[in-house]
């Protein structure tokens, strides 16, 4: 994309401004003299603007490269009602936007300490990671090791129209044309951004499993995992952050809305899940069947936490089960839970929860899967 100011207004009503990137590159090559830039990233509230997540970031200079999380300071930012929100480092990544020793710090949020509390108080109401981590620890304590893999779908948008990138405003691609995993400039729109995202995630240390174009131009998917415990959800949030930052640099929009384009199939974040019981043969398939029936009994609770606007996607069409129904099947892409044919043959492995929307919170989804299938808890409404 070239430099120069854009005259179009985005959804916020603010004119997009494009600066001369060649000037920036000159300064990014300057010597940091051993100092390290640490970019803190966190989820700020449950705000959802209908397209992207309220991921926030700010940078702190460290005197040198930290050797562990303990060497990275707990920090704060200004929350609502003039109260400070404490941000606590939880995982570090190499920074693909500032190469070298610079890092990205994924943090979660807490209230200010009070009384005998030292570093921070209780988790904020929008900190879903804390409860997820507690569920993962409890499952490990009983001998389980939950693994998660995520299939994140999304659309790239023209920020001046909020319509899929490359589509004429209000018009649709030909239905008879195959776009899934397709090749060609009018089919695989903005592949250069997707390739940049893939390489940036690998550099950062995100467990990204792969990428593919989806069933419409400008619709893409990346996969994260499989990873144990909270690493999968952490890496998915970091991959989302990197994607939103790259879209900022390429001057394009991105949406995770479950049904961003009328008359088109919706987009989801299918969640692949396994634990020691399902990964052990013989008996893995029996464990999967038992867990599916537990999921059936908690279907409404899961659906209520699987993404805003998911009712527009889960219609019983386009390889989805109806939102009010629960089903599981071997090789069935229209089921709520799909079990792979090879898993059934091997009598062990993972199963795929196809209900989560593209905008779901992986901490909530992972916590619910573990609590319903392994801990039999009723912690979320």
pLDDT in tens, the chain (381 residues): 333 334 444 566 677 788 888 898 899 989 999 999 999 999 987 666 667 777 899 999 999 999 999 999 999 998 777 688 999 999 999 999 999 999 999 999 998 888 777 788 899 989 999 999 999 999 999 999 999 999 999 999 999 888 999 988 888 888 767 888 788 888 889 999 999 999 999 999 999 999 998 888 999 999 999 999 999 999 999 999 999 999 999 999 999 999 999 988 899 999 999 999 999 999 999 999 999 999 999 999 999 999 999 999 999 898 889 989 999 999 888 899 999 999 999 999 999 999 999 999 999 999 999 999 999 765 555
Backbone φ and ψ of 377, nearest 5°: -100, 165
Euclidean distance between CA atoms 259 and 246, whole angstroms? 23
- Taking the alpha carbons of 304, 307, 311, 315 in that order, is the dihedral positive or negative? negative
Q: How far is CA 131 from CA 40, 122, 125, 237, in A?
A: 21, 11, 11, 16
**Are 90 and 193 in a shared domain?**
no
Count of residues in the chain:
381
**What's the domain count of the chain?**
2
Find where tokens 């990544």 sit. Answer: 93
Copy the structure tokens of residue 260. 């961003």
Residue 17 resides in a domain: no
**Are 357 and 229 in a shared domain?**
yes
Q: How far is CA 169 from CA 151, 164, 177, 261, in A?
A: 28, 8, 19, 12
The model carries a pTM of 0.92
The DSSP secondary structure of 24-61, one letter per residue, reads HHHHHTS--TT-EEEEEEEEEEEEE-SSSEEEEEEEEE
Euclidean distance between CA atoms 163 and 281, whole angstroms? 48
Query: Residue 44: which CATH number?
Result: 3.10.20.70
Euclidean distance between CA atoms 232 and 239, whole angstroms? 10
If one counts every other C-beta atom within 10 angstroms of the C-beta of residue 156, the result is 23
Euclidean distance between CA atoms 312 and 309, whole angstroms? 6
**Are 293 and 324 in a shared domain?**
yes
**Are 239 and 191 in a shared domain?**
yes
**Are 211 and 279 in a shared domain?**
yes
Q: Of the candidates 74, 100, 126, which is a domain's last residue?
A: 126
Note the Cα 56 to chain centre separation in Å: 14
Query: Residue 213: which CATH number?
Result: 3.30.590.10
Residue 214 resides in a domain: yes
Q: Of the candidates 93, 126, 159, which is a domain's last residue?
A: 126
**Are 110 and 245 in a shared domain?**
no
Containing domain of residue 272, as a range?
140-375
**Are 95 and 191 in a shared domain?**
no
Find where tokens 């044919």 sit. Answer: 341
Yes or no: say if 208 and 180 are a contact pair by the CB < 8 Å rule: no
Yes or no: say if 67 and 54 are a contact pair by the CB < 8 Å rule: no
**Are 250 and 161 in a shared domain?**
yes
Euclidean distance between CA atoms 23 and 209, whole angstroms? 34
**Are 53 and 88 in a shared domain?**
yes
Residue 354 resides in a domain: yes
If one counts every other C-beta atom within 10 angstroms of the C-beta of residue 223, the result is 19
Euclidean distance between CA atoms 37 and 153, whole angstroms? 31
Q: Of the candidates 101, 126, 151, which is a domain's last residue?
A: 126
Yes or no: say if 219 and 243 are a contact pair by the CB < 8 Å rule: no
**Are 160 and 93 in a shared domain?**
no
Yes or no: say if 355 and 328 are a contact pair by the CB < 8 Å rule: no
Angle between helices 231-250 and 191-204 in degrees, nearest 10: 140
């Amino acid at each position: 994309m070239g430099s120069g100011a854009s005259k179009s207004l985005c959804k916020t009503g603010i004119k997009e401004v494009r600066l001369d990137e060649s000037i920036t590159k000159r300064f990014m090559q300057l010597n940091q003299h051993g100092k390290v830039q640490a970019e803190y990233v966190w989820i700020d509230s449950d705000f959802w603007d209908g397209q992207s997540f309220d991921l926030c970031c700010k940078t702190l200079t460290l005197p040198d490269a930290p050797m562990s999380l303990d060497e990275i300071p707990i920090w704060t930012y200004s929350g609502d009602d003039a109260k400070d929100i404490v941000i606590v480092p939880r995982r570090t990544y190499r920074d693909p936007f500032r190469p070298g020793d610079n890092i990205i710090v994924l943090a979660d949020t807490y209230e200010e300490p009070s009384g005998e509390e030292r570093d921070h108080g209780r988790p904020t109401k929008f900190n879903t990671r804390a409860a997820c981590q507690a569920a993962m620890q409890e499952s490990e304590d009983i001998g389980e090791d939950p693994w998660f893999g995520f299939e994140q779908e999304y659309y790239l948008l023209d920020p001046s129209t909020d319509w899929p990138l490359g589509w004429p405003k209000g018009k649709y691609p030909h239905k008879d044309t195959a776009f899934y995993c397709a090749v060609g400039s009018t089919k695989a729109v903005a592949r250069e951004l997707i390739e940049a995202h893939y390489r940036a995630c690998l550099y950062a240390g995100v467990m990204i499993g792969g990428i593919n174009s989806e069933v419409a131009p400008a619709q893409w998917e990346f996969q994260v995992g499989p990873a144990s415990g909270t690493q999968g959800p952490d890496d998915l949030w970091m991959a989302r952050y990197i994607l939103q930052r790259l879209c900022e640099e390429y001057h394009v929009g991105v949406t995770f809305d479950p049904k961003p384009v009328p008359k088109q199939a919706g987009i989801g974040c299918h969640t692949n899940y396994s634990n020691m019981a399902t990964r052990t043969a013989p008996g893995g398939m029996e464990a999967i069947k038992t867990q599916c029936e537990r999921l059936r009994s908690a279907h409404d609770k899961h659906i209520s936490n699987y993404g805003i606007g998911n009712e527009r996607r889960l219609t019983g069409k386009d390889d989805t089960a109806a939102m009010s129904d629960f089903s599981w099947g071997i090789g069935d892409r229209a089921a709520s839970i799909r079990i792979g044919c090879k898993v059934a043959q091997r009598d062990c492995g993972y199963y795929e929860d196809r209900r989560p929307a593209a905008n779901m919170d992986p901490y909530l989804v992972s916590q619910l899967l573990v609590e319903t299938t392994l801990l039999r808890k009723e912690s979320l409404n």
